Structure 1
Amino acid sequence: MIKGSCLCGDIYFETAAKPQNASMCHCSQCRKQSGGIWASAQVRDADLTITGPVNWFEATPQAERGSCPRCGSFLFWKGAGEDTTSFALGAVDGNTGLSVEKHIFTASKGDYYRIADGVPQED
């Protein structure tokens, strides 16, 4: 079981499913919303339980981003029409048992760091 929460504790999430596609996103939207690289993994919506007042923001017609209205923690990403939701690995309470599989949107990464872990990168 993976469990997580926002900084203030108003939102909790959990899943018993094995998350897929653990990645680190370097796009400008994730950098602006999280203040850095956003690490996440995804599960089917039916396998994710979310408790609390998630504020869903449609950043683009292609996706929504879920955050806590009280503390601002950026917790979820959901593609339009998809049956999966990505959750922030940094919000997980305890170990995840996962390893990052890829870096995404590396063409728009910040100029202030290097990606040097040997994990595959996608522009």
Structure 2
Amino acid sequence: MKTGSCLCGGVAYTLTGELRPSVACHCVQCRKTSGHHVSATQVNPDQLQFTSDATLAWFQSSPKAQRGFCNHCGSSLFWRHEDDGGRVSVMSGTIDGATGLHTDKHIYVADKGDYYEIADGLPQLKTY
């Protein structure tokens, strides 16, 4: 079991079961919500339980996807797509302590910012 939260603690959660390796997304929406690219693991909906969700808000960022964030401190926490079987991407940086995760690829690198390079040798996909 892993725990995580937003910066102010208004949203706190537990994750159970196996976590997918982290994926670094460089799409414009991820860059706009985080200020850089994001790295996220993914879980089934029954693996995510909220211990506090008083400040959790969801933004419809595209016709089929939503982004979960704290409406108090602004932390970007989750991403979910209606065509993904209810699976929820969890921003890896919001997980408390050592995660045991590793990044296995970069996606949407065609949209990455021009101010950084990806030089870690991992696969780079132009889209997903």
Give the TM-score normalised by structure 1: 0.96
Report the counterpart of residue 26 of structure 1 in structure 2.
26
Matched, 1:70 2:66: no
Give the Cα separation in 1 of the matches to 2:125 and 2:14.
28
Report the counterpart of residue 12 of structure 1 in structure 2.
12
Deviations 1:67-87 (A, max 9, x none): 001000000000114321011
Give the Cα separation in 1 of the matches to 2:59 and 2:101.
27
Counterpart residue type for residue 84 of structure 1: R
Aligned-pair Cα RMSD in Å? 1.0
Q: What are the ranges of 5 or more consecutive residues in structure 1 without an aligned counterpart? A: none
Counterpart residue type for residue 61 of structure 2: A
Alignment of 1:83-98 (within 5 A): 83-98=86-101
Q: CA deviation at 1:5?
A: 0.5
Q: CA deviation at 1:20?
A: 1.0
1:122 to 116, 122, 125: 125
Alignment of 1:104-115 (within 5 A): 104-115=107-118
Q: How many residues align?
A: 123
Q: What are the ranges of 5 or more consecutive residues in structure 2 without an aligned counterpart? A: none
| 8 A contact 2:21–2:102 mirrored in 1 | no
Deviations 1:52-108 (A, max 9, x none): 131100010121000001000000000114321011111111011010011010000
Q: 1:80 to 1:21 in 2, by over 3 A?
A: farther
Percent identity of equivalent pairs: 44
Other structure's SS at 2:61 match: strand
Report the counterpart of residue 100 of structure 1 in structure 2.
103
Other structure's SS at 2:98 match: coil
Q: CA deviation at 1:21?
A: 4.2
Give the Cα separation in 2 of the matches to 1:17 and 1:121.
27
Deviations 1:19-71 (A, max 9, x none): 11410110010001100010100000011112313110001012100000100
